[in-house]
Protein backbone atom coordinates (compact mmCIF):
# COMPACT_ATOMS: atom_id res chain seq x y z
CA UNK A 1 0.00 0.00 0.00
CA UNK A 2 2.83 2.39 0.86
CA UNK A 3 4.43 1.61 -2.51
CA UNK A 4 1.24 2.56 -4.37
CA UNK A 5 0.88 5.77 -2.37
CA UNK A 6 4.44 6.87 -3.15
CA UNK A 7 3.97 5.98 -6.82
CA UNK A 8 0.82 8.08 -6.91
CA UNK A 9 2.69 11.01 -5.39
CA UNK A 10 5.46 10.69 -7.95
CA UNK A 11 2.87 10.85 -10.73
CA UNK A 12 0.60 13.59 -9.35
CA UNK A 13 3.02 16.01 -7.67
CA UNK A 14 4.87 16.98 -10.90
CA UNK A 15 1.49 17.30 -12.65
CA UNK A 16 0.02 19.57 -9.96
CA UNK A 17 3.16 21.71 -9.82
CA UNK A 18 3.18 22.06 -13.61
CA UNK A 19 -0.49 23.11 -13.66
CA UNK A 20 0.11 25.55 -10.80
CA UNK A 21 3.10 27.15 -12.52
CA UNK A 22 1.23 27.49 -15.82
CA UNK A 23 -1.86 28.89 -14.10
CA UNK A 24 0.21 31.42 -12.17
CA UNK A 25 2.14 32.40 -15.29
CA UNK A 26 -0.98 32.85 -17.42
CA UNK A 27 -2.71 34.78 -14.63
CA UNK A 28 0.27 37.11 -14.34
CA UNK A 29 0.46 37.63 -18.09
CA UNK A 30 -3.29 38.32 -18.21
CA UNK A 31 -2.62 41.47 -16.21
CA UNK A 32 -1.29 42.97 -19.45
CA UNK A 33 -4.95 43.53 -20.40
CA UNK A 34 -4.88 46.48 -18.03
CA UNK A 35 -2.88 48.28 -20.73
CA UNK A 36 -5.94 48.23 -22.98
CA UNK A 37 -8.82 50.69 -22.78
CA UNK A 38 -11.75 49.33 -20.75
CA UNK A 39 -13.99 49.06 -23.82
CA UNK A 40 -11.44 46.83 -25.59
CA UNK A 41 -11.14 44.26 -22.82
CA UNK A 42 -12.86 40.83 -23.05
CA UNK A 43 -15.25 41.75 -20.23
CA UNK A 44 -16.65 44.59 -22.32
CA UNK A 45 -16.58 42.72 -25.64
CA UNK A 46 -17.89 39.30 -24.54
CA UNK A 47 -19.41 39.97 -21.14
CA UNK A 48 -16.88 37.88 -19.21
CA UNK A 49 -13.14 37.42 -18.70
CA UNK A 50 -11.37 34.97 -21.01
CA UNK A 51 -8.27 33.38 -19.44
CA UNK A 52 -5.24 33.40 -21.69
CA UNK A 53 -6.08 36.46 -23.78
CA UNK A 54 -3.67 38.55 -21.75
CA UNK A 55 -0.99 35.89 -22.24
CA UNK A 56 -1.44 36.12 -26.01
CA UNK A 57 -1.24 39.90 -25.78
CA UNK A 58 1.98 39.64 -23.76
CA UNK A 59 3.54 37.30 -26.34
CA UNK A 60 2.46 39.69 -29.10
CA UNK A 61 4.05 42.64 -27.29
CA UNK A 62 7.29 40.67 -26.86
CA UNK A 63 7.30 39.70 -30.54
CA UNK A 64 6.62 43.23 -31.79
CA UNK A 65 9.30 44.58 -29.45
CA UNK A 66 11.78 42.10 -30.92
CA UNK A 67 10.86 43.12 -34.48
CA UNK A 68 11.29 46.81 -33.67
CA UNK A 69 14.56 46.24 -31.79
CA UNK A 70 16.19 44.53 -34.79
CA UNK A 71 15.81 47.43 -37.24
CA UNK A 72 17.82 50.63 -37.42
CA UNK A 73 15.19 52.83 -35.81
CA UNK A 74 14.67 50.38 -32.97
CA UNK A 75 18.38 50.09 -32.24
CA UNK A 76 18.71 53.87 -32.09
CA UNK A 77 15.71 54.02 -29.77
CA UNK A 78 17.25 51.39 -27.46
CA UNK A 79 20.55 53.30 -27.33
CA UNK A 80 18.66 56.46 -26.42
CA UNK A 81 16.69 54.59 -23.76
CA UNK A 82 19.82 53.04 -22.25
CA UNK A 83 21.58 56.41 -22.24
CA UNK A 84 18.61 57.88 -20.38
CA UNK A 85 18.64 55.09 -17.79
CA UNK A 86 22.40 55.48 -17.44
CA UNK A 87 21.87 58.93 -15.97
CA UNK A 88 19.87 57.58 -13.03
CA UNK A 89 22.34 56.23 -10.40
CA UNK A 90 20.35 53.41 -8.77
CA UNK A 91 18.40 52.45 -11.89
CA UNK A 92 21.63 52.30 -13.90
CA UNK A 93 23.17 49.64 -11.65
CA UNK A 94 20.03 47.48 -11.60
CA UNK A 95 19.38 47.76 -15.34
CA UNK A 96 22.98 47.02 -16.36
CA UNK A 97 23.17 43.98 -14.08
CA UNK A 98 19.89 42.52 -15.32
CA UNK A 99 20.81 43.24 -18.94
CA UNK A 100 24.16 41.47 -18.65
CA UNK A 101 22.52 38.38 -17.17
CA UNK A 102 19.73 38.32 -19.78
CA UNK A 103 22.19 38.85 -22.64
CA UNK A 104 24.20 35.88 -21.40
CA UNK A 105 21.25 33.55 -20.84
CA UNK A 106 19.37 34.39 -24.04
CA UNK A 107 22.29 34.94 -26.39
CA UNK A 108 22.18 33.29 -29.80
CA UNK A 109 25.34 31.35 -29.01
CA UNK A 110 23.55 29.60 -26.15
CA UNK A 111 26.77 29.35 -24.15
CA UNK A 112 25.45 30.37 -20.74
CA UNK A 113 26.13 26.83 -19.50
CA UNK A 114 28.57 25.18 -21.88
CA UNK A 115 29.46 21.89 -20.19
CA UNK A 116 28.58 19.87 -17.11
CA UNK A 117 31.58 19.42 -14.84
CA UNK A 118 32.58 17.54 -11.72
CA UNK A 119 34.51 19.70 -9.26
CA UNK A 120 35.72 19.47 -5.67
CA UNK A 121 33.62 21.87 -3.59
CA UNK A 122 33.38 23.20 -0.90
CA UNK A 123 36.48 21.27 0.19
CA UNK A 124 38.92 18.77 -1.27
CA UNK A 125 37.44 15.29 -1.43
CA UNK A 126 33.86 16.60 -1.60
CA UNK A 127 32.52 16.49 -5.16
CA UNK A 128 29.63 18.34 -6.77
CA UNK A 129 28.26 19.10 -10.22
CA UNK A 130 29.05 22.47 -11.77
CA UNK A 131 28.75 24.17 -15.14
CA UNK A 132 31.45 25.76 -17.25
CA UNK A 133 30.50 29.32 -18.16
CA UNK A 134 33.68 30.44 -19.90
CA UNK A 135 37.18 31.61 -19.07
CA UNK A 136 38.38 34.39 -16.76
CA UNK A 137 38.76 37.71 -18.54
CA UNK A 138 39.84 41.28 -17.97
CA UNK A 139 42.39 42.06 -15.31
CA UNK A 140 41.44 38.87 -13.46
CA UNK A 141 43.16 36.77 -16.13
CA UNK A 142 46.39 38.74 -15.59
CA UNK A 143 46.60 37.51 -12.00
CA UNK A 144 45.94 33.83 -12.73
CA UNK A 145 48.82 31.62 -13.78
CA UNK A 146 47.98 28.77 -16.12
CA UNK A 147 44.76 27.62 -17.77
CA UNK A 148 41.66 28.48 -15.72
CA UNK A 149 37.95 28.02 -16.38
CA UNK A 150 34.97 29.95 -15.02
CA UNK A 151 32.59 27.64 -13.18
CA UNK A 152 29.11 28.05 -11.72
CA UNK A 153 28.22 25.76 -8.82
CA UNK A 154 24.41 25.77 -8.35
CA UNK A 155 22.60 25.04 -5.12
CA UNK A 156 19.87 22.44 -4.75
CA UNK A 157 16.91 22.22 -5.19
CA UNK A 158 16.96 25.82 -6.48
CA UNK A 159 19.75 26.10 -9.07
CA UNK A 160 19.24 29.84 -9.61
CA UNK A 161 21.44 30.48 -6.57
CA UNK A 162 25.00 29.29 -6.30
CA UNK A 163 28.69 30.13 -6.38
CA UNK A 164 30.97 31.48 -9.08
CA UNK A 165 34.46 29.97 -9.05
CA UNK A 166 37.58 30.20 -11.21
CA UNK A 167 39.37 26.86 -11.10
CA UNK A 168 42.44 25.41 -12.81
CA UNK A 169 41.33 23.47 -15.87
CA UNK A 170 43.28 20.44 -14.66
CA UNK A 171 41.15 20.28 -11.49
CA UNK A 172 37.79 19.88 -13.22
CA UNK A 173 36.33 16.79 -14.88
CA UNK A 174 34.09 17.13 -17.91
CA UNK A 175 31.06 14.86 -17.52
CA UNK A 176 29.52 12.77 -20.26
CA UNK A 177 26.05 14.23 -19.74
CA UNK A 178 24.07 17.12 -21.16
CA UNK A 179 23.41 20.34 -19.26
CA UNK A 180 19.73 19.38 -18.98
CA UNK A 181 20.59 16.01 -17.43
CA UNK A 182 22.92 17.68 -14.96
CA UNK A 183 20.25 20.22 -13.97
CA UNK A 184 17.72 17.43 -13.37
CA UNK A 185 20.28 15.62 -11.24
CA UNK A 186 20.87 18.75 -9.15
CA UNK A 187 17.22 19.78 -8.77
CA UNK A 188 16.22 16.25 -7.71
CA UNK A 189 19.06 16.24 -5.13
CA UNK A 190 20.56 13.17 -6.79
CA UNK A 191 17.33 11.17 -6.95
CA UNK A 192 16.94 11.40 -10.73
CA UNK A 193 20.31 10.05 -11.85
CA UNK A 194 21.34 10.34 -15.51
CA UNK A 195 21.88 7.23 -17.61
CA UNK A 196 25.29 5.65 -17.09
CA UNK A 197 27.53 6.27 -20.16
CA UNK A 198 28.97 3.22 -21.87
CA UNK A 199 32.50 4.05 -20.80
CA UNK A 200 31.54 3.94 -17.11
CA UNK A 201 31.87 6.47 -14.33
CA UNK A 202 35.14 8.32 -13.79
CA UNK A 203 35.88 7.86 -10.09
CA UNK A 204 38.68 10.34 -9.54
CA UNK A 205 40.78 13.01 -11.17
CA UNK A 206 43.78 10.73 -11.77
CA UNK A 207 41.64 8.18 -13.62
CA UNK A 208 40.13 10.93 -15.76
CA UNK A 209 43.50 12.31 -16.78
CA UNK A 210 44.85 8.82 -17.51
CA UNK A 211 41.92 8.09 -19.83
CA UNK A 212 42.39 11.44 -21.54
CA UNK A 213 46.10 10.82 -22.13
CA UNK A 214 45.41 7.33 -23.47
CA UNK A 215 42.84 8.64 -25.93
CA UNK A 216 45.25 11.35 -27.14
CA UNK A 217 47.97 8.77 -27.79
CA UNK A 218 45.58 6.60 -29.79
Q: Is the pLDDT of residue 127 over 80?
A: yes
CA distance 182 to 161: 15
User: Which of the two residues, 109 and 103, has the higher pLDDT score?
Assistant: 103
Task: DSSP for 81-114, please give it.
Answer: HHHHHTTSHHHHHHHHHHHHHHHHHT-TT--SS-
Q: Would you place residue 205 in the very low, low, confident or very high pLDDT band (cuts 50, 70, 90)?
A: low
CA distance 82 to 92: 9
Q: Is residue 217 in some structural domain?
A: no
Provide the residue count of the chain.
218
Domain CATH number, residue 183: 2.30.30
Q: Is residue 182 in some structural domain?
A: yes
Which range among 86-100, 120-134, 194-208 has the greatest average pLDDT?
120-134
φ, ψ of residue 131 to 5 degrees: the values are: -130, 135
What is the mean pLDDT of the segment spanning 111-135?
88
Q: Would you place residue 202 in the very low, low, confident or very high pLDDT band (cuts 50, 70, 90)?
A: very low
Q: Which domain holds residue 120?
A: 115-194
| Percent over 70 (pLDDT), the chain | 85
Please check whether residue 127 is in contact with residue 118, taking contact to mean a CB–CB distance below 8 angstroms. Answer: yes
Q: Would you place residue 95 in the very low, low, confident or very high pLDDT band (cuts 50, 70, 90)?
A: confident
Q: What is the mean pLDDT of the chain?
A: 83
User: Number of folded domains in the chain?
Assistant: 2
Residue 10 pLDDT:
82
What angle separates helix 72-85 from helix 53-69, to the nearest 10 degrees?
Answer: 100
Rg of the Cα trace of the chain? 24
User: How many other C-beta atoms can be found within 10 angstroms of the C-beta atom of residue 68?
Assistant: 13
Residues 68 and 127 in one domain: no
Q: Is residue 157 in some structural domain?
A: yes
Amino acid sequence: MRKYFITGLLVLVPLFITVWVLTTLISTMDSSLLLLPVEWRPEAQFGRAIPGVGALLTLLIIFVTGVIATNFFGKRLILLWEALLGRVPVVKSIYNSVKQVSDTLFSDSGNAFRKALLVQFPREGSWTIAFMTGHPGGDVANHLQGDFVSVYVPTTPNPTGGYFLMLPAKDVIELDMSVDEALKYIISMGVVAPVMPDRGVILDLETAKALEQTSNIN
